[in-house]
Amino acid sequence: MTNSKIAAGIVLYNSEIERLQENINAVKTQVDQIIFFDNHSKNIKNIEKLISSQHIKYCLLKSTENKGIAFALNKIAKYAISEGYDWLLTLDDDSVVYPNLITRYSKYLSMKNIGQISCLLKDRNIISNNIENKNSWDLKEKKYVITSASLIKLNALVKAGGFDTDLFIDWVDNEVCCALRKVGYKSFQVNYVGLLQEMGAIKSYKLFSKIFYTPNYSSIRYYYNARNSIFVSRLYPSEEKTRKIIVNQLKMMTQIIFFEADKYSKVKAIVKGIKDGLTKKVKRERYL
C-alpha cells in the first residue's frame, strides 16, 4: 500500500494562525496534498495569506456560512476522490500530528476490511498522559475513533454514505464509525501517540480526593453532544443504548453544576438536546 495516494484534509474555522502553521508543518511532508475547507472564518484573509506562503500542493475550498464539520469533511472527501486519492487524513485546524504518523499507519493499510485507522493522542491540557504501552499491543479494533488524525479509506467512506451532515458537530466521528461498520468496514487504532490536540478546554477539579476532568464546552456544543449522541443511539440501536446515553448526559449535567461556569445555560442546552434527540426523525441520508 506504499503506492497509495494520500491527501490530508484540514477543516478551518477562525483558525489560530500560529497553530495552523504548526499543523501544516507537521503534515506537509507526510501526504501528497493538503485540502483545506474554510467554514466562513472571520480571519480568512490571514488564513489565505498563510496557506499561499507555504511550499505545498494544496487546494482551498470555502463556504459562505458555517456548515459544520461533517459538511466540510464531505466536501474535502469529494475533492480528494476527484483527484484520485485513496486515503484521506482528516484534521482539525488545531491538530498537530507527529512526524512518523503516516509511516506508522502505512504498514496496516492492506488489511482486509479496514475502513479507517487512528492513533493515540496527547491533550495539551492534561499534564500526565500515561496512554501508551508498546509491550501490550500494536493495533486493535476500536468501536469509535476520533476524526482528527484518522486516515480513512475513501471508497469505504463512499459506501458508508459519507459523514452525516445533519449532525453538524459532535458525534460525527462516532456516527461514521457505525456507518462504516454497517457496510463491513472496521476502525482501528495503533499504539502510537501521533496527535497533539486540545479536546475542548479541559480542566481538572478535585472533590473528595478524586480528580474530575470536565470539557468546559460552550452551551451549543453541549446541545449537539446531547442531541446527536441520542440520535445515533436510535439510528444504530445495536451500537448504543439510548437509556445509557441519557444517563451519561445527566452525569455531565451534574459535573457542570458542580464545576463549570454558565451552569444554567449549559444544563438547559443539554435538556433541549435530549428532547430533540428523542424526537428527531431517525433517518440517515447519503452524502457521498
Phi-psi region of 261 (alpha: psi -120 to 50; beta: other; left: phi over 0): beta
In this structure, what C-alpha cell is assigned to residue 73? Answer: 469533511
Confidence (pLDDT) at 213: 75
Segment 231-252, tens digit of pLDDT? 999 999 999 999 999 999 999 9
Residue ranges, the chain, pLDDT below 50: 1
146-to-65, 120, 177, 269 alpha-carbon distances in Å: 24, 10, 9, 23
Strands (E), the chain: 6-12, 33-38, 58-62, 87-92, 96-97, 114-123, 139-142, 150-153, 186-197, 203-207, 210-214
In this structure, what C-alpha cell is assigned to residue 66? Answer: 458555517
Segment 158-179, tens digit of pLDDT? 999 999 999 999 999 999 999 9
All structural domains of the chain:
6-197 (3.90.550.10), 203-279 (no CATH)
Report the half-sphere exposure of 151 (CA within 13 A, side-chain side).
30
Strands 96-97 and 87-92: unpaired
Confidence (pLDDT) at 1: 46
Confidence (pLDDT) at 180: 99
Phi-psi region of 5 (alpha: psi -120 to 50; beta: other; left: phi over 0): beta
pTM of this prediction? 0.93
Confidence (pLDDT) at 111: 96
8-to-11, 56, 76, 151, 180 alpha-carbon distances in Å: 10, 12, 9, 9, 20
Rg (alpha carbons) of the chain, rounded to whole number:
19
Residue with grid cell 484534509, as numbered in its chain: 9
Confidence (pLDDT) at 218: 95
In this structure, what C-alpha cell is assigned to residue 179? Answer: 456507518
Confidence (pLDDT) at 206: 74
Closest among 231, 222, 234 to 269, alpha carbons compared? 222
